[in-house]
Amino acid sequence: MIYQGSKARLIKDILPYIQNCIDSNKVNLYIEPFVGGANVIQHIKRAVKIGLDTNKYLIALLKHCQNNPDLTDAFEDCPFELYKEVRDSYNKGDDRYEDWQKGLVGFCASYGGRFFDGGYGRDKRGGRSIYKGRIKYLKDEAKNLMGVSFSVQDYTAINCNAETVPAFFYLDPPYAGTKQYQNKFWHDQFYRWARELSRHHFVLISEYQMPSDFLSMWTKERKVMQKSDRASAELVSEHLFTHKDGLYYKWYHEEGYKLWQSR
């Protein structure tokens, strides 16, 4: 799904760093506490998959896609009048539209997948709505969401300790210093949590920058549209970080490096 901060264009680069670790260590549980548009979790194999997010409208939409992957009950189109109507329903908190419908319009008809935050999305010519293209994209991906357990939960509610065997956590939080999501994100709190989590589980984090005790395992420069003019792009360095004392870093330097050398 088109989503703010989506990794859809980077999946071929970052997936091997996740899947090789899962396969090499026979990891049975994969968790994404910031599942977003589910652009990574849908590609993971050979593990029980759990996708979490605090946005209940996002989770309602993803669950609806699992139950009705053809989206036969979705709005055929979304003119601005409908967009405004659903947005007003969301802002008022009324039940005129179901949660999944608010998620559908909020993500698929808003610029940049920003959920009623980026304004009504139009094509490059400034005319037609982007909605139909986004719906087609969502339908194409819906079949890949089968088998994922989605639920509404904040990452802070996750127990960092390993109760039995290590799980794999892929973390894609709101990036520091960039356009934020609607709710404030406390990065220092997240860093402390990620350090503790890394002691007991395999952890990779997507970010542009992290504190010095998190090491970059992979990086790639790319252009992103971050400015409000919707025309100029910035060159950024995308990274996959892991903690220097964590299980992933230990595995990579004992076994993982050999996998990359033999490719």
Across 230-239, average pLDDT: 75
Res 263 pLDDT > 70: no
Note the pLDDT of residue 152.
98
CA dihedral 204→206→207→209, nearest 10 degrees, is 30
Mean pLDDT over residues 225-235, rounded? 57
pLDDT at 239 over 90: yes
pLDDT digits (tens, 9 = 90+) for 91-109: 999 999 999 999 999 999 9
Amino acid letter, residue 115:
F
More confident residue, 241 or 163: 241
Tell me, what's the pLDDT at 179?
62
Q: What is the pLDDT of residue 231?
A: 52
Looking at residue 183, what is its pLDDT? 65
Rounded Cα gap, residues 240 and 171, in angstroms: 10
Residues 250, 254, 260, 263: is their CA dihedral positive or negative?
A: negative
Once rounded to an integer, what is the mean pLDDT over residues 33-47? Answer: 95
Residue-wise pLDDT for 174-204, tens only, equals 998 766 555 679 999 999 999 999 999 999 9
Beta strand spans in 140-254 (E): 148-152, 168-171, 202-207, 214-224, 234-243
Query: pTM for this one?
Result: 0.90
User: Is the model more confident about 235 or about 231?
Assistant: 235
Pairing between β-strand 234-243 and β-strand 214-224 as defined by DSSP bridges: antiparallel
Indicate the average pLDDT of the chain.
Answer: 89
Helix, strand and coil content of the chain, in percent to the nearest 5, comes to: 40, 20, 40
User: Kindly report the CA angle at 164 between 163 and 165, in degrees rounded to 5?
Assistant: 120
Query: What is the percentage of the chain residues whose pLDDT exceeds 90?
Result: 71
